[in-house]
Amino acid sequence: MALPSATASLNNSLKCWKYLGIWPDGKHKTMYRCYSSAYIFIVLILYNIQQTLSLYYAPRKIELMIKEITFFFNVLAITNCVFMILYRKKTIIKIFKALDSEQFQGTDIVTKNILMKDVAHYKMYWKGLVGLGNFAYTLNSVVPIIANLAITSYQLQLPTFNYYFLSDSIKKEYFGFLYAYEFFSIYGIMMYDVTTDSFINGMLFFSITQMKILNNKFRNLKTEINSKLSRDEQERIHVTKLKECLRHYDSILTYCSDVQSIINFIMFVKFGLGSLLICVLLCGLLLPQTMESIMFMLFYSMAMVLQIFVPCWLGTQLTYQSQELVFAAYNSDWIPRTEPFKRSVKVFMERAKTPVVIIGFKLFPLSLETFTSIMKTAYSFVTLVRNFQEEAET
């Protein structure tokens, strides 16, 4: 029975990308290129153009523009993710090769147990995220249709933007076609969102896994060697183990560098627009709204908070695990070893004192401190708006 692997888990996103037109499987390249171009144009490019026009022509009323602004900036962030995935395809393939390498797979039981446990956790996360995305899509697009069929007085609204650049007569005449287009497009956009998010977070998650494995390797350098062997032979075995650890560390740094190159600009856009949306949605809750609008803003604001929190938490864990390497190396059985062994451990410890930190566009680290700072800023902004409202009322 084959053991579950990190690449098999990440492949779930790639399988979805194949149908979403951004990850060819190597067969029927010409046909797939035509399908990919048509799908991306209809679902992303045309949708973005229409949504931009709708926002531009929308009435300048905050309560009407909140939903338009929310979907506009969210789709803009998703579009950025999609095109960065297309642009960084070679780097993604390189990352898959690293995860499939013998160094990352490991041969001992402890390493395989760590991998199996983390792969199981990631699979649960992937299923939960995809399930949550489909649930939100159902609430936004499917439930209104059912309500319209069941309740005659219920007025069906378009799922996302309202085509303010079209006249009311045209919207009324082609309402079914417009709803069908948004119904189809936002499902593809939703799947783009959850699959790219799960893939990015998966790359970060498995970098933490490799750090945990390396920590375990360094701590096991003190494992007793067969006493029947001579001291020189024992030293050679210890040196071989140390070299394996150092090569593994170098591979992890290369892997993290590749991950950084992929998510560098993605995180900048996602955090920037996500922070803006959190402020907009929280401010929207201060205005008189229908219960449906309140539920929409609450659900979407929680989704935005979660979207920012997860990579921040993973970035913090990665930094923490990389810092733990110093203590793991110190806990190895280095005292009775030879001077070359001790020097190598000292050099490694000096290098490991600089932790691995994932940066968003060279501006902010992915850390819980960044998340806390964003939430504090959003709260301060909402408090400021509330104070202006109270002054206007008085």
User: How confident is the model at residue 314, as a pLDDT?
Assistant: 94
82's tokens: 């999609």
- Here the tokens at position 63 are 């309560």
- Evaluate whether residue 66 is within a structural domain: yes
Distance CA 322, CA 315 (A): 11
In a domain? residue 206: yes
61-102 pLDDT, tens per residue? 777 778 888 888 888 889 999 988 888 889 999 999 888 888
Whether 1 has a pLDDT exceeding 50, the answer reads no
Tell me if 216 is assigned to some domain: yes
- Whether 106 is covered by a domain: the verdict is yes
Residue 17 belongs to some domain of the structure = yes
Amino acid at 234: Q
Interval 302-306 mean pLDDT: 86
Q: How many CA atoms does the CB half-sphere of 308 hold within 13 Å? A: 28
222 token code pair? 């003190």
Q: What whole-number percentage of the chain has pLDDT above 90?
A: 24
Q: Which helix (DSSP H) or strand (DSSP E) does residue 364 occupy?
A: strand 364-365
> Which residue range forms the structural domain that includes residue 163?
6-393
**E strand residue ranges, the chain:** 359-360, 364-365
Measured CA angle at 222 (ends 221, 223), to 5 deg: 90
Are 23 and 17 in contact by the 8 Å Cβ rule? The answer is yes
104 occurs within a structural domain: yes
- Where is average pLDDT lowest: 35-39, 221-225, 240-244, 385-389? 221-225
* Number of domains, the chain: 1
Q: Is residue 15 part of a domain?
A: yes
Q: What is the pTM of this model?
A: 0.89
Tell me whether residue 1 is in a domain. no
